Structure 1
């Protein structure tokens, strides 16, 4: 603690100079400033007539359109999917196109595919047969078989297949504004999704000898041709998801007659595919306040045992969607509920399809979770525009327009663990939420995973927190990302990294961007500014193709908050937040009352004289010469150097009377000044949130913007005036900045409790189903 001995009553003069900042062509390496707060500049694409500097679509923005009419049939005996389609492709670009690119995603599973070659592998001394089998190449006959590619006149078109991409060469260029028809026939062997992995395929249930088909990435789909990159024909290798074109769909799905089919869009022929009882239940669901079972558990169990050999065709239509997926099985319960409020301008149907093993969880929760997700996402982004939203239990987690596949199964006795319950609710929210990002705000998942997964995980967190204040959200809270951000740099990469090149995929593409957005909302921008800007981004880019630059620019444009420093640090680097409260120094005035001043000076004078030698000399009763020979004494031996002069007392009284109340508080030492020094040890500049605890038990928080670091990115000091005695100081008290070392955030220093976490989900054979005991099971036993 430092004390001002005497404070002169004069104005404080700040010396310095005015500096003009000029845009730099590059950052300022080697300096303690001029780096982290520079504008993004060339890191972003240049604005143009297609995409403005504000982040909005430009006056000449365009995008392609692809409409589909598809006939598809599932051969349940041979596990073959057969399809034929007519694609009507409209060239809205200003460019003549001499070829078209079509995606064949199922070739990911083809024999000898790239995805089976480029991942590393190794051997250990002890390995199981199953582990070794994965290293032995097998010919399984998976992959797409193209039988026909013709134009609208049924003339064959030359095509070349390169792994998961097929180039169709056009005999004459497709001019701007023109459209053409493509006819494609194909089939493929359906994969066992539980063995081969991937998103689409079947799951076999040996107990009742039935299949659950989740058919996705199943038809030849047009690749995106855009203003910012031309053709997006980067290969699909299993991780980076999809860049797709909006269009209208009519799909005729032929399956065994006792199958129930749920799909993207609206069914056009319920009257032909449902029995009278089921059709009546469907009509009841249009006005019910609770989910109605259109296909009951008894219906599903009956069909599971009978196994019809006949066929039925379900007809689905969907408008302005970027993809189409469906579920088909005879072992499905189906319930539905109309969402009557919370989605402005729309009353969509929330629906769920699930097997008997998921019934205890899905019947209670799933459809209500779907409805809740639609309402919450509509509040934070754009109103949900589609007529349907579906959740399917498939031991999975994957999304498509209006339909998603999720996990969540009970044990055989109908009980389930808390982890399974909350995991199921979270994954349903997440996958339903993908309807907004990227199914409507249609970013390129193949290139920028975070633009759909990160934004969606952020909204998932908000939606979970509105479901239950005690919801155990795994991603979103700032302190939950710190374990990832403190990893060695060789295990990290910036968020702005292609999905195929990410080591820690979940933390990088999901959790870190979600955390960053939550920090923006709660700490940097505030809820009001953030929510307005985020909604504006969604509104600008619904049913369009945004890029990262469009998002970054819109968030600034709609809020008037300079966020380049934030994007630069959080999205373009692997820096971490590690801000240390390095030093605290207290200053206060002791007052300038002449009597008190003289007393303080006397005490200081005495302390200066009172050495150990003087002390011991006096203890020995030493006879000092000036005491033995008094002729040596003069004026200074008798002078009271600390006596108060009358004129000083009068001057002081006049000065003190001239002070106002606040000045008297400062002068009397009732206000203390605390100089805090902060060190940036992690690289990321962030706001400083400082909580003061006073002797009377009260608390106060100061929020200092991140701009305090702009002139020194490594170390800053800040002085605070406090009118009460401070007993402790805590940096980042609500753990809202993702600081990776909280041990140096407090004054006085205090030890942090250690953490010992046990992952409760180990031992699960099927995703979303517990295999260990659970409290619900134990309670039933008692």
Structure 2
């Protein structure tokens, strides 16, 4: 332990300069590239768009904010024999912009399946030694007749409108400029072959069940729909290639859906004609469900099984209406069980219906969990954003996950004997929470998914984590906890890109667009800002931009504006950069006051004097009782051989006591050796600046946490020291003890260093599975079989 000779020393920061930057701020704008500071804490500046009359510097919509509106009246029919969708629509487009428009852009997402689709040509491919027939077929695209066939594009009077199809976008040329504030009404008639989702991929389509010869139709991105025209980018007409989802305008929908008479249809919005499409018993159950706080089966499993066998050849038309939504999707099949319940509390000003549609394969899981997971999601999200405003929220089991206003498609099927693994259970609950949660991001807070995937997927995944953690205290959340993103952040740089990257350009899509932003927000909430400040600011962002089109700058600015926390360093590092967190605790040096108390000072001098004399040779001479010359010949001894060099006088003691009595209590503790100063040295090996959380583990078994804000790195982004005064004896020091900063190397987080033993397997499957990670034959099945 080192001694300090200064009378009083308090906690201080010692900034040590070393080295030059090595270019670790890749993908960022460096303000002071040749220095070890002045980069990571600079304001975002030109990385954000300038505020204007449409979007303020505070992150709120501006005084002259505007957005377009698109209303639809659609008639659609599903041909259950040929798997063809035929539709006609009337679109009323309102130009609320200050710009005259000479043409309109309409999205045709189903063209992603066309044989000459752009996404089929630019995707890279390679060969392996072992290839399946399905993999080989991808190299030999066949003309299957997929893609949208436009039959008519006319004005409201039936006059043809010139139009040009460019892959998944169609430009409609107007006969004259659509002036600001004006409306234009036009009509489109189209059809397309519905694809097998399991074979062709994509968002909508059908699934065929060979065992009973029936289809499950999940119809999404199915109608020609208006692209967004906005103040920040004009037309968003970037092609749909299957990954970057969509930007859409809000509007009102009336949709008439014609399907086989024994099909059950669930859709965006509210059904206007249940009495004409349901049986009397089903209608009565629906009325009961509207009053129930527990799920009620409106269509039972037995009714679905009967319909699957009989297969009606008649038709029925279901009419749905939805107000102020940005999209419309629906499910149709005779295989569906339908249950529903009223969400009676937890949502201010609203009591929506939570509903689920599912087949017999999913019945053991969905009948127990789905609708209650829907209700739980609405309550938790409403608490953290805005109250859920729509009248219904629907979960459909369709062996996939995708979201639309008021309806989403999820997975979660049991084995044939009705059992399921724990992983399947929690995977199902998580995907339901996630997809229902998309009602808030981006269906209400309407960001541009084609450009910034993280603004809906990342924010939604963060809220999903909050909802999961309120479902079960032991919920095995896979995205959100900081340490779970560490493996991604330590990947080679060529496999990484900033969160602020267009979706088509991302290598590791799930970690980048879902997990990393969700983790970043969780770190903001728990570590950087604290829950109170974060929750208020996050809720304010949702309130400001509900039913509007926010950009990243609006989010970043609102979070700072509503919290008074400067977060530019955080956005710069987590969203604009690819550096990982790796803060190393390099050393811990204890210091204790070198006191002027005569007794203590002389005792310290004696100890030091004797330590200086001690050598191995002297020790062994003493052990051998060797006779020394000065002891044999006393004439060699003088004053110094007999002098007590460690004695002190009464005058020395009195002088000290006079000085000591003038000290305050804290100063006396220092002189009495009750306070030890610990100098901790940290190096930023990863590059991403973060707060430093220090846990002190004391000899008496107690612990204490000290929090060092990230600003400690502002004058030296590579190396800092920090001094702490402690009254207890420290046994060890640990940084980031709760794994809350996403540190990629925990081996350098402790003093003294801890050895991390590698694990090996003695017996195959000798240890129990981690919660939520069951695989292979599920434990429920084994228990039923008595094993």
Q: Structure 1-normalised TM-score?
A: 0.94
- Bigger shift: 715-724 or 642-651? 642-651
Q: Equivalent of 2:121, from 117, 121, 137?
A: 117
Aligned-residue offset at 1:629: 5.8
Aligned-residue offset at 1:30: 2.3
Alpha-carbon distance between aligned partners in 1 of 2:9 and 2:441, rounded to the nearest angstrom: 61
Aligned-residue offset at 1:135: 1.4
Q: Equivalent of 2:190, from 163, 186, 201?
A: 186
Q: 1:249 to 1:667 in 2, by over 3 A?
A: same
Question: Within 5 A, what are the aligned runs for 1:45-124?
Answer: 45-124=49-128
Does structure 1 conserve the Cα–Cα contact (< 8 Å) formed by 2:12 and 2:723? no
Alpha-carbon distance between aligned partners in 1 of 2:735 and 2:14, rounded to the nearest angstrom: 30
Q: 1:614 to 1:346 in 2, by over 3 A?
A: closer
Question: Within 5 A, what are the aligned runs for 1:453-532?
Answer: 453-532=457-536
Alpha-carbon distance between aligned partners in 2 of 1:130 and 1:150, rounded to the nearest angstrom: 41
Question: Within 5 A, what are the aligned runs for 1:268-667?
Answer: 268-589=272-593, 591-608=595-612, 621=627, 623=629, 627=633, 640-667=644-671
Does structure 1 conserve the Cα–Cα contact (< 8 Å) formed by 2:483 and 2:739? yes
Aligned-residue offset at 1:288: 1.4
Indicate the SS of the match to 1:282: helix
Match of 1:2 in 2: 2
Q: Equivalent of 1:720, from 717, 724, 734?
A: 724
Alpha-carbon distance between aligned partners in 1 of 2:773 and 2:428, rounded to the nearest angstrom: 9
Does structure 1 conserve the Cα–Cα contact (< 8 Å) formed by 2:13 and 2:721? no
Q: 1:124 to 1:660 in 2, by over 3 A?
A: same
Q: 1:147 to 1:686 in 2, by over 3 A?
A: same
- Bigger shift: 363-372 or 646-655? 646-655
Q: 1:565 to 1:637 in 2, by over 3 A?
A: same
Aligned-residue offset at 1:638: 5.8
Indicate the SS of the match to 1:356: coil
Aligned-residue offset at 1:9: 6.2
Alpha-carbon distance between aligned partners in 1 of 2:785 and 2:71, rounded to the nearest angstrom: 56
Aligned-residue offset at 1:645: 3.2
Match of 1:233 in 2: 237
1:735 matched to 2:746? The reply is: no
Match of 1:243 in 2: 247
Indicate the SS of the match to 1:3: strand
Aligned-residue offset at 1:750: 1.1
Does structure 2 conserve the Cα–Cα contact (< 8 Å) formed by 1:391 and 1:428? yes
Match of 1:211 in 2: 215
Q: 1:527 to 1:148 in 2, by over 3 A?
A: same
Cα deviations by residue, 1:755-775 (Å, 9 ceiling, x for unpaired): 789xx9xxxxxxx99994211
Does structure 1 conserve the Cα–Cα contact (< 8 Å) formed by 2:12 and 2:722? no
Q: 1:341 to 1:629 in 2, by over 3 A?
A: closer
- Bigger shift: 638-647 or 431-440? 638-647
Does structure 2 conserve the Cα–Cα contact (< 8 Å) formed by 1:410 and 1:770? no
Aligned-residue offset at 1:12: 11
Cα deviations by residue, 1:660-704 (Å, 9 ceiling, x for unpaired): 222111111111111111111111111111111111111111111
Cα deviations by residue, 1:488-518 (Å, 9 ceiling, x for unpaired): 1111100000000000000000000000000
Match of 2:47 in 1: 43
Cα deviations by residue, 1:458-507 (Å, 9 ceiling, x for unpaired): 00000011011111111000011111111111111000000000000000
Does structure 2 conserve the Cα–Cα contact (< 8 Å) formed by 1:409 and 1:769? no
Q: 1:419 to 1:653 in 2, by over 3 A?
A: same
Q: 1:499 to 1:12 in 2, by over 3 A?
A: closer
Indicate the SS of the match to 1:289: coil
Cα deviations by residue, 1:236-271 (Å, 9 ceiling, x for unpaired): 000000100000000000001110000000000001
Match of 1:255 in 2: 259
Alpha-carbon distance between aligned partners in 2 of 1:356 and 1:188, rounded to the nearest angstrom: 29
Indicate the SS of the match to 1:117: helix
Indicate the SS of the match to 1:357: coil
Aligned-residue offset at 1:780: 1.0
1:132 matched to 2:128? The reply is: no
Alpha-carbon distance between aligned partners in 1 of 2:573 and 2:434, rounded to the nearest angstrom: 26
Question: Within 5 A, what are the aligned runs for 1:171-182?
Answer: 171-182=175-186
Query: Unpaired runs of 5+ in structure 2?
Result: 16-27, 766-771
Alpha-carbon distance between aligned partners in 2 of 1:388 and 1:15, rounded to the nearest angstrom: 59
Alpha-carbon distance between aligned partners in 1 of 2:12 and 2:256, rounded to the nearest angstrom: 81
Does structure 2 conserve the Cα–Cα contact (< 8 Å) formed by 1:493 and 1:574? yes
- Bigger shift: 659-668 or 172-181? 659-668
Aligned-residue offset at 1:642: 3.6
Match of 1:266 in 2: 270
Alpha-carbon distance between aligned partners in 2 of 1:318 and 1:625, rounded to the nearest angstrom: 108
Aligned-residue offset at 1:535: 0.2
Cα deviations by residue, 1:55-84 (Å, 9 ceiling, x for unpaired): 000000000000000000001111110000
Q: Equivalent of 2:710, from 706, 712, 715?
A: 706
Cα deviations by residue, 1:194-223 (Å, 9 ceiling, x for unpaired): 100011000000000000000000000000
Does structure 2 conserve the Cα–Cα contact (< 8 Å) formed by 1:411 and 1:771? no
Alpha-carbon distance between aligned partners in 2 of 1:649 and 1:476, rounded to the nearest angstrom: 62
Alpha-carbon distance between aligned partners in 2 of 1:121 and 1:615, rounded to the nearest angstrom: 75
Alpha-carbon distance between aligned partners in 2 of 1:176 and 1:40, rounded to the nearest angstrom: 34
1:170 matched to 2:181? The reply is: no
Count of aligned residue pairs for this structure pair: 763
Aligned-residue offset at 1:11: 10
Q: Equivalent of 1:155, from 147, 159, 173?
A: 159
Aligned-residue offset at 1:628: 7.1
Cα deviations by residue, 1:512-537 (Å, 9 ceiling, x for unpaired): 00000000000000000000000000
Aligned-residue offset at 1:184: 0.5
Indicate the SS of the match to 1:312: strand
Aligned-residue offset at 1:596: 2.8
